Amino acid sequence: MCGIIGIVGNREVAPLLVDALKRLEYRGYDSAGVATIKDGKLDRRRAEGKLANLDRKLGEEPLAGHVGIGHTRWATHGAPTEANAHPHFCNGVAVVHNGIIENFAPLRAELMAKGATFYSQTDTEVVAQLLSAYRQEGLAPREAMQKALGRFEGAYALAVLFEDQPDMILGARSGPPLAVGHGQGEMFLGSDAIALAPFTDEITYLEDGDWVVIKRDLLEIHDRTGKLVERRRQKSQGAAYVVDKGNHRHFMEKEIYEQAEVVSHTLAHYIDFAEGRVKFESSLIDFANLDRLAMSACGTAYYAGLVGKYWFERFARLPVEIDVASEFRYREMPLTGRMAALFISQSGETADTLASLRYCRDHKLTIGAVVNVRESTIARESDAVFPTLAGPEIGVASTKAFTCQLSVLAALAMIAGRARGTLSAEDESKMVRALVEAPRLFNQVLTAIQPQIEMLSRELSRFKDVLYLGRGTSFPLALEGALKLKEISYIHAEGYAAGELKHGPIALIDETMPVIVIAPHDRHFEKTVSNMQEVAARGGRIILITDETGAAATTLETMATIVLPVVDEIVAPILYALPVQLIAYHTAVFMGTDVDQPRNLAKSVTVE
């Protein structure tokens, strides 16, 4: 969610803060602000909407100062207005905050009873007010910080300026990520390595409960008890990330077209192409002796996990319990010693997924993580890390991260099948050969179907509702297609298992309801065609996504038939992600929505 940047520098920092915030735009936001200290006085500029509005304000009213903090806000408490934008001030204290202070209401009431006046609707303002109150009681900044942190419940990453300490920033982490960047005579604080990349590639990640003091030549880290601690300083890959759309209109389009390359990199990490077998094995997860595998994730990553469930159960005969992370730990699934848990997250910071991971860790399960950021919290707290190699994904609607997650899960299912003796060497070799062809097919498919989908999407943009159907691994793709369409075009869409059509959704079918059917010519095809017949009989407008064999096998009239190559079943979910992504993308473009940063959404959801 929100982005944080802080700089204790030796030059004017306001332009640097804004540039760093631009690198955090992918996280999602609806307002922004920066604050600096100059000549012993705090000052700030805030604006609702995009960073261009803040840039404009700074052009009209520049901010001076070599120390400052900045923030992009995704609203949780209070509307996205300038008054609710960060930084929040109170009597010489400035605060930016990512997360939710869950007990803000009683804290606010307590402070108001003592005479405090609040100027925003946010939970964050209680942080500034409480720190100010402790300072007025005579506590030094470090003491005030330690005492205030003991009062907060919930999730937070904080950066704090004190007007009477003009060469220092305090930070704290409990949940959402926060990292310190080491410079030459400068120090930095940021939500992730991408924000810090222009300044340094030397990073120290704070652990949960840590709070930190940074000056130009000082790094002081305390744990939640206040004890001084050391955390590892490491090289970050963030400096290598170039956040640039290139020749594409949007980051989402760029990332769709990058999939051939990044899936190739991911597969190369797990597959020995010469030997025709999967090569990445972790002795920390003993698939051969598992009774069950628990899996959890959120959003698109959850749909990748649903596809993985089909694969693990079919190829490894390993039962999988999967649930969305926000529900996973609350249903109190029985966990045993012969289980392992696998969590999927693009950012590696997803709050619900991390909470579920910790629930499983508390029950002594071995933890595996499929993540795109190896330095992330989920990766650091897992026993075995299975990286995706998608690179930074800026568009909020996940594309290349999804297909890379599928590629990793396919490899893991094959590893599990081999370990459990349920996947023969011949079948493994066949599946590897099929996966190796996927990157080439990506480019072929994108070239072939893009013009057709662009024309189709112009027509789709006129409808208010769309239904997606699929069977087998195409069912999670139907869910993913509906999610993509609704999150960036704002058209209402739902995904269903095709066999569930007659158990309710068929009531919606008429000539105003496009039905997108994902149906490769596999063992489920004939059943899916029967469901298509039910749609056609009620005047529904069918958009069929199938392969050459499937297109030849059906005579039903369609609004459009999108034809892909015939591929192995393990490749189909990865390849068929392309048309559902393109349909959502081009529909959103025609509707004029903000494709990369859709309303109300954040890239990395770091609060529950």
Question: What 3 state SS string does 127-141 have?
Answer: HHHHHHHHHHCCCCH
Q: How far is CA 387 from CA 266, 278, 370, 411, in A?
A: 8, 15, 6, 12
User: H or E segment at 221?
Assistant: strand 218-222
Which H or E run contains 452?
A: helix 425-460
Q: Pick the catalytic residue: 22, 50, 486, 603?
A: 603
362-400 burial, b at 16+ Cβ within 10 Å, e below that, comes to: ebebbbbbbbbbebbbbbebbebbbbbbbbbbbbbbbbb
- Distances in Å between the Cα of 351 and the Cα atoms of 3, 71, 174, 348, 374 are 15, 19, 11, 9, 16
- Residue pair 20/196 in contact (Cβ under 8 Å)? The answer is yes
User: Is 38 marked active-site?
Assistant: no
* C-alpha span between 192 and 181 (Å, rounded): 10
Measure the N-to-C terminal CA separation of the chain; round to a whole number of Å.
Answer: 11
Q: How far apart are CA 106 and CA 300, in angstroms?
A: 36
Q: Which residues touch 41 (CB under 8 Å, ≥6 apart)?
A: 163
Contacting residues for 465 by C-beta, under 8 A, at least 6 apart: 491, 492, 493, 508, 512, 513
**Pairing verdict, β 292-297 and 339-345:** parallel
Sign of CA dihedral 150, 154, 158, 164: negative
Tell me the three state secondary structure of residue 327. Answer: helix
Active site residue: 2, 90, 298, 404, which one?
2
Q: What one-character-per-residue DSSP string does 365-384 give?
A: -EEEEEES-TTSHHHHT-SE
**Annotation marks residue 2 as catalytic:** yes
The secondary element (H helix, E strand) that includes residue 386 is strand 384-387
Q: Which residues are the active-site residues?
A: 2, 603
